[in-house]
Structure 1
Amino acid sequence: MQRHFGHDQDHATLGGGIDRRSFLGGSVLLAALAAGVRPSAAATGGVLRFGIGDSFPGEKLDPVTVQNGASIDLVQIVYETLVRRGPDWSFHPWLAERWELSADAREWTFFLRKDVVFHDGTPMTAKDVVYTIKRHLDEANGSGLYKRLSASFGPDGLEIVDDHTFKIVMTRPDTLLVESFSRFIIGITKDGTVGDVDPATAVGTGPFKVSAFAPGEAFEVERFDGYWQPGVPTLDKIQCVHIPDQNAKVQSVISGTVDIIDGVDAVVIKDLLTNPEVRVAFLPSAQYWGIFLSQEAEPFRDVRVRRAIKLALDRKLILDTVYQGQGTITPDVPVPPGDPLFPDDLDGAQDIDQAKALLAEAGFPDGIDFELFTSPILPGMVDLAVAFAETVKPAGIRVSVNQWPVSTYWDQIWLKRPGYVDYMNRRNGHDAMDLTFAAGSPYNGSHFDGDGTLRTTIEAALGEPDRAAQVTAYKAALKRVALESGCVIPCYVNQAMVLHKAVTGNPFEWEMPKSLALLSKDA
């Protein structure tokens, strides 16, 4: 007996796009934004202008290699995945109409839509999908999904049945593969697409196609008239420009110079909630911000030190001061409270005396000193580091906050220094650990699981056919991460977008930024 997923009827429309007029003519739009000048009315036909704070020169147009910055938004606008994830963490057919899993969880069959074409007009077929997946199975390409996928199947396990059907024969049981196929980095690319693609070769199936791209500065996309969903997108263009200064970004959306901006500090969001010129949209528990401390460096090698740091933290204070209550406290668990896999017996209560005792046991009776790197790239990054340093100080934990330049933080600090601030978007429990905590994880900034036992545990749970037993195994693994890893997660926070009053629609109808294609604006 096979398990069936999906259906053949039309699904809720999504999409996204962001554009930048004639590609700035160098830096024309940047200069206009700086001067508070509204772009020319000649840009008619529904142009949405997006001001984004997170952008850096190393951005890519190839979804396989995207890691940070505005290109994360861009690739989700241009490329589409087989599966789409909703804000309630449900998974829906997208480029795949439906799928089947064999009873032993060792063979998946995917049935593709027959009405999808790439931006160059060629039909999307199983050949393109298999080509895309194989790129993630090549370790040399540096995909964040390499470890996750290659542990379940190899290139030889991919079989094209016909133009719109393919199979995957697994080397281990894998009940959660579909969820991995919703990740934006596995957006379907045309067969033969390789390397650092440029606007001319960034050929996807999304509602918008790239017209210009300047890493770290801006990008532009324009509507794709051959898009498979009728009536989408509702815009002709979307223009994205990097606005690193938060005040300038906020004033731009209030004045209408831009139509939408990404997140700003929570205290600013609180003020904007009563501003009649804008409205704020929220996606609950969208991501966590963490303090990543490498257990390969002193003083974090001893688990008692890592535990002491976690016990010294006042999580409610951080939620209330840094995020203005917009989120939910979590005791260092990389899934939010309410998730089916969230451990039931952790509370994250502050205990200064126990923290001091653990430090003394570990050989630090006078406390510890260490450096923590952060940067004003995104809202709250600096505030979190400062609040963290203050709240753990009573336990004898002395933190020196080093505010690094925006332009080089991702290149010189992230994954390189033993203590830094970073964020992770919400994922299911398996993928959260597979990506950031288990041995071989590409983003394991805390260098946890040196003996590989967490990896063994989550891979066994992945193939567990009994759902109750699977949940129990994942809960235990997540509890271990919370108690022992060097990642301090005070809370899960709500993601916010600020829209000018002329813009209608919800950018979080499903998942940002794909819903941008449904936004519209008054003349």
Structure 2
Amino acid sequence: PSPTAAPAAAAAGGIKRGGVLKVGIQVPAVDHPARFSWVFDSNEFRQVYEYLTETGADNITRPYLLEKWDVNDTLDVWTLHLRKGIKLSNGDEFTSEDVLFNFKEWLKPETKSSILGLWEGFLTIENVKAVDDYTVELKLDGPKLDVPETLFHYPAQIMHRSFNGDLTSLKNPGTGPMKLDEFKVGERVKVSKRDGYWQNGADGKPLPYLDGIEYIDLGNDQTAYVSALLGGQIDTIYNPTVDSFQALKDNPKVKVEALTTAQVRVLRVRVDQDPWKDNKVRQALKLSQDREAIFDKAYFSQGALGGDFHVAPVQPEYAPIDPPKYDPVKAKQLLTEAGVQMPLKVSISVGTGWTDVVAYIENLKETAKDSGFDIQLDTMPNSSYWDKWTETTVGVTPWTHRPLGVMLLPLAYIGDKDGKPVPWNESRWIDEEFSTLLKKAQGTLD
């Protein structure tokens, strides 16, 4: 069959083909896409490996490698219909066998994928069936409304059924418009266009428009990326910090497009370790933050204040709750009631590449003194933070946007079938009542 038209294409008159896009972005070590810990892990492979669905800039999720999906009235049987005629880069046709292989990888506890948390309590591999070459049926253990969104969770890149376990080996075929030519940790990733891609551009010719993309790692210091952008060595920066935004926003050569998302920095503690087992100590830390001052000094008042819950205004489940007020007197009282020795020494792990996070904790260090805390920053490169982010006792973790709160919360705040925290539950907090209500919400249409 002829290639499918791209789901969202620009006006044909404005299209320019050719060239290599150079992106400033860190290049961490990776192996299995299901174990990606951060978005930049996936970004360097998105032109090689694709997803069954895609969430657009409008926060709506649509079919991608899927042609469509069907669901029964009770939201517990989902039928996935694959696009026909898609060829992988090795010439094999994309079929249900590939989808079934990926579900097996995602749902195996040994893979240690965050995807497992999204399906926890709803799906086991025995209930994933290939009906025919282009149809896959999911029989769930309960109603779940966010199946399309779950399929675009960034570690859910679709691999060929022969995947060898090493994403960077240059030997794994993909459905994407490009092939992987080079991968060097801490240096660069190169991808280039391939023949036979399944989508056409707005000009009627096969995608991609570009000849290739080069992802260039310039280290942990964002000033290097800003200098490279202004000097023409790179064309764009992945995830610029607030400092970079301030340096670039008034430059006539730089186009800034503001977009409200659910991306957030989460200061969290391990509730399975002392002294954080005691909720009074946790509440004291909350009351020790002067959020307005943090917002002004660390974020230059760009964005919005968080309300100490992990759902954002752009997500449909959002309900406004006022953030706790700065109250060092009450915080100190809570520490006294908890019986901890003051000042309570606390080490907080932060990635220095996130300059806003560093400024945040430096501000907290000062405001928390009157509460009875002695806070020290445990600084490290961002790549080192990602090596330990689920293990460190206290840390500040950037969490990226997800279209639905009911997709986000199971990643971070529930346990598995054995009662153990799911892979991305970095705080180890599990509450039976919360988990029950969350599961009910996951199957409730408004």
TM-score (norm 1): 0.76
The partner residue of 2:27 within 46, 55, 58 is: 55
d(CA) in 1 for partners of 2:84, 2:360: 48
Larger deviation, residues 375-384 vs 252-261: 375-384
Structure 1 residue 86 and structure 2 residue 62: aligned?
no
Aligned-pair identity (%): 28
String of CA shifts for 1:398-453, please: whole Å, max 9, x gaps. Answer: 21112124553332x3222201221111222223221112122212221111x544
Q: Is contact 2:190–2:215 with CA below 8 Å preserved after alignment?
A: yes
Change (3 A) 1:45 1:9: closer
Change (3 A) 1:463 1:247: closer
Aligned residues: 425
Change (3 A) 1:175 1:408: closer
d(CA) in 1 for partners of 2:161, 2:355: 38
Corresponding position of 1:490: none
Structure 1 residue 321 and structure 2 residue 321: aligned?
no
Structure 1 residue 153 and structure 2 residue 98: aligned?
no
String of CA shifts for 1:180-199, please: whole Å, max 9, x gaps. Answer: 01112111111121312334
Corresponding position of 1:455: 435
Q: Residue 260 of structure 2: SS of its match in structure 1?
A: strand
String of CA shifts for 1:38-68, please: whole Å, max 9, x gaps. Answer: xxxxxx931111111x333x323x3112224
The partner residue of 1:445 within 407, 426, 431 is: 426
Change (3 A) 1:392 1:337: farther
Change (3 A) 1:255 1:124: same
The partner residue of 1:227 within 188, 191, 197 is: 197
The partner residue of 1:423 within 392, 398, 409 is: 398
Q: Is contact 1:330–1:348 with CA below 8 Å preserved after alignment?
A: no
Q: Residue 323 of structure 2: SS of its match in structure 1?
A: coil
Change (3 A) 1:333 1:172: same
Larger deviation, residues 193-202 vs 253-262: 193-202
Larger deviation, residues 272-281 vs 298-307: 272-281
String of CA shifts for 1:133-167, please: whole Å, max 9, x gaps. Answer: 12111111121111322521222212222222221
Structure 1 residue 300 and structure 2 residue 276: aligned?
yes
Change (3 A) 1:388 1:169: same
Corresponding position of 1:238: 213
d(CA) in 2 for partners of 1:74, 1:294: 31
Q: Aligned AA for 1:163?
A: D
Matches within 5 A, 1:254-273: 254-273=230-249
Corresponding position of 1:511: none
Q: Which runs of 5+ in 2 are unaligned?
A: 11-16, 202-206, 416-420
**Aligned CA-pair RMSD:** 2.3
Matches within 5 A, 1:116-195: 116-195=86-165
Q: Is contact 2:261–2:314 with CA below 8 Å preserved after alignment?
A: no
Q: Residue 361 of structure 2: SS of its match in structure 1?
A: helix
Cα distance, 1:84 vs. partner?
A: 0.7
The partner residue of 1:435 within 405, 411, 433 is: 411
Q: Residue 85 of structure 2: SS of its match in structure 1?
A: coil
Change (3 A) 1:214 1:10: closer
d(CA) in 2 for partners of 1:281, 1:126: 39
d(CA) in 2 for partners of 1:388, 1:86: 36
Corresponding position of 1:341: 317
Corresponding position of 1:481: none
Corresponding position of 2:371: 395
Structure 1 residue 410 and structure 2 residue 386: aligned?
yes
Q: Is contact 2:44–2:215 with CA below 8 Å preserved after alignment?
A: no
Cα distance, 1:304 vs. partner?
A: 1.4
d(CA) in 1 for partners of 2:357, 2:159: 34
Q: Residue 200 of structure 2: SS of its match in structure 1?
A: coil
Change (3 A) 1:70 1:346: closer
Q: Residue 212 of structure 1: SS of its match in structure 2?
A: strand
Q: Residue 422 of structure 1: SS of its match in structure 2?
A: strand
d(CA) in 2 for partners of 1:382, 1:266: 12
Q: Is contact 2:34–2:111 with CA below 8 Å preserved after alignment?
A: yes
TM-score (norm 2): 0.88
String of CA shifts for 1:68-119, please: whole Å, max 9, x gaps. Answer: 4743212323211111112332111111121111112221111111132211
Q: Is contact 2:348–2:394 with CA below 8 Å preserved after alignment?
A: yes
d(CA) in 2 for partners of 1:305, 1:190: 48
Q: Residue 381 of structure 1: SS of its match in structure 2?
A: helix
Q: Is contact 1:369–1:397 with CA below 8 Å preserved after alignment?
A: yes
Change (3 A) 1:306 1:70: same
Change (3 A) 1:264 1:415: same
Corresponding position of 2:357: 381
Q: Residue 239 of structure 2: SS of its match in structure 1?
A: coil
Q: Aligned AA for 1:335?
A: V
Corresponding position of 2:418: none
d(CA) in 2 for partners of 1:319, 1:223: 43
Corresponding position of 1:498: none
